[in-house]
């Protein structure tokens, strides 16, 4: 964020990164899941060979038969489970041809899957698709990981209710969110974002379906840039931390000179922004700015607060820029225009534009005009 937010952090090496560690153990069954067969090529089903439960048991294509070996639990946490274990890429490989197997659930990228609207089952860690080896429908054909091609042997019909790809009321499904942020920090949960949306119903809820999706893509593209792909919770340049206290404000900096550094999806910074955001959200962020880095829902709410209510160095809020047709470039101006727009830092602007174009592609809408500032 620029102007009344912070003097821009640099993209220097990560110093003092405050990460939430990746979860190493998943619950026995994910919440909000659907169970059923996953069918694909020639109408055959994803099957656990001989209904085995040993780690490394082959996952294959087989005639659909309704047995437990073909009952897959597609969870909103990105796992796909059968017989109490997870669909897994052998060895955690990201290479074409890596075989698919059953393995103890462990929370690694090798066990994360996203069902797209186009019926691809994608492993975001590898950015590759679940594929039938050799494009053959013979019983026992192994499933593998392969570069997504859109071919028939990569198309699947999976249980939808509650699982990846299921609309939550937000125009971005969880599957699409995971596709946008394959390496995100677990702190930035989809559920935290969806819950936070309740405070700003106009966000991604105004205008045509195209405009709604464009606004969601625009918000998430700027978030992507600010956080390095939803990786960083706090500003990485710790040398900047003491710079965000404006002592001319009557309330001062009660949390300390260096307490108001960038946090959350839009990297909220400066004591006056913490005061204003806290007042709007009913939270004492001035005295406890650490809430933004410790609570995912609060973090998302501060980002949406800025997007929907603040103009920053621009002339309009980012929300208004998207719903009134001013274009994506004006969202950049409102967030960090004083340091990036009008030729000041074209590489940073391009980073935001690239993400926006990628995200509108995922959502199936054109990016519109006026992409640059």
Full domain range(s) for residue 204? 190-363
Catalytic residue among 174, 215, 226, 235: 226
Single out the residue in 107, 134, 154 at which a domain terminates: 154
How many other β-carbons are positioned within 10 Å of the β-carbon of residue 343?
9
Domain total of the chain = 2
pLDDT, tens digit, 9 for 90 and up, residues 227-268: 999 999 999 999 999 999 999 999 999 999 999 999 999 999
In a domain, 11, yes or no: no
Interval 148-164: pLDDT, tens = 888 889 988 787 533 33
Q: What's the predicted TM-score (pTM) here?
A: 0.58
Pair (51, 101) in one structural domain: yes
At residue 87, φ and ψ (nearest 5 deg) are -65, 125
On whether residue 257 sits in a domain, the answer given is yes
Is there a single domain that holds both residue 117 and residue 196?
A: no
What CATH number is attached to the domain comprising 270? 1.10.530.10
What are the Cα distances from residue 212, in Å, to 32, 134, 169, 216?
Answer: 25, 40, 12, 6
Q: Residues of the chain with pLDDT > 90: what percent? A: 64
Q: Residue 370 falls within a domain, yes or no?
A: no
Domain boundary among 154, 178, 209: 154
The SS3 of residue 61 is strand
Q: Are residues 67 and 199 in the same domain?
A: no
Active site residue 235: no
Report how far apart, in Å, the C-alpha atoms of 249 and of each of 184, 242, 282, 333 are: 36, 16, 20, 25
Is 164 part of a structural domain of the chain? Answer: no
The domain boundary, picked from 154, 170, 203, lies at 154
CB 26 within 8 A of CB 78: no
Q: Are 81 and 126 in contact (CB under 8 A)?
A: no
Question: How many whole angstroms separate alpha carbon 360 and alpha carbon 367?
Answer: 6
User: What CATH number did the domain enclosing 128 receive?
Assistant: 2.80.10.50
């Amino acid at each position: 964020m620029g102007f009344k937010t912070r003097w821009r952090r640099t993209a220097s090496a990560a110093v003092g990164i405050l990460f939430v560690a990746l979860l190493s153990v998943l619950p026995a069954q994910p919440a909000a899941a659907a169970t059923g067969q996953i069918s694909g090529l020639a109408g055959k089903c994803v099957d656990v060979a001989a209904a085995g439960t040993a780690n490394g048991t082959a996952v294959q294509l087989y005639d659909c038969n309704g047995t437990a070996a073909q009952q897959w639990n597609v969870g909103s946490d990105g796992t796909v489970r059968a017989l109490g274990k997870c669909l897994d890429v052998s060895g955690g490989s990201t290479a074409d041809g890596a075989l698919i197997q059953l393995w103890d659930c462990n929370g690694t990228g090798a066990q994360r899957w996203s069902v797209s609207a186009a019926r691809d089952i994608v492993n975001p860690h590898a950015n590759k698709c679940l594929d039938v080896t050799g494009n053959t429908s013979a019983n026992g054909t192994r499933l593998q990981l392969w570069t997504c091609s859109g071919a028939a042997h990569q198309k699947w019909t999976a249980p939808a209710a509650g699982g990846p790809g299921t609309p939550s009321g937000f125009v971005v499904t969880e599957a699409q969110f995971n596709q946008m942020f394959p390496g995100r920090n677990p702190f930035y949960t989809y559920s935290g974002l969806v819950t936070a949306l309740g405070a700003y119903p106009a966000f991604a809820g105004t205008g045509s379906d195209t405009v709604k999706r464009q606004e969601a893509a625009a918000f998430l593209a700027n978030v992507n840039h600010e956080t390095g792909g939803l990786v960083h919770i706090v500003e990485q340049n710790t040398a900047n931390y003491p710079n965000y206290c404006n002592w001319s404000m009557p309330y001062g900096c009660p949390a300390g000179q260096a307490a108001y550094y960038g946090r959350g999806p839009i990297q909220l910074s400066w004591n006056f922004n913490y005061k204003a955001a806290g007042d709007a959200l009913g939270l004492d962020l001035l005295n406890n700015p650490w809430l933004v880095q410790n609570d995912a829902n609060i973090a998302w709410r501060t980002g949406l607060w800025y997007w929907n209510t603040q103009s920053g160095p621009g002339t309009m809020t980012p929300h208004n820029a998207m719903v009134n047709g001013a274009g994506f470039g004006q969202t950049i101006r409102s967030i960090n225009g004083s340091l990036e727009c009008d030729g000041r830092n074209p590489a940073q602007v391009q980073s935001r534009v690239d993400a926006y174009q990628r995200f509108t592609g995922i959502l199936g809408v054109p990016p519109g005009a006026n992409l640059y500032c």
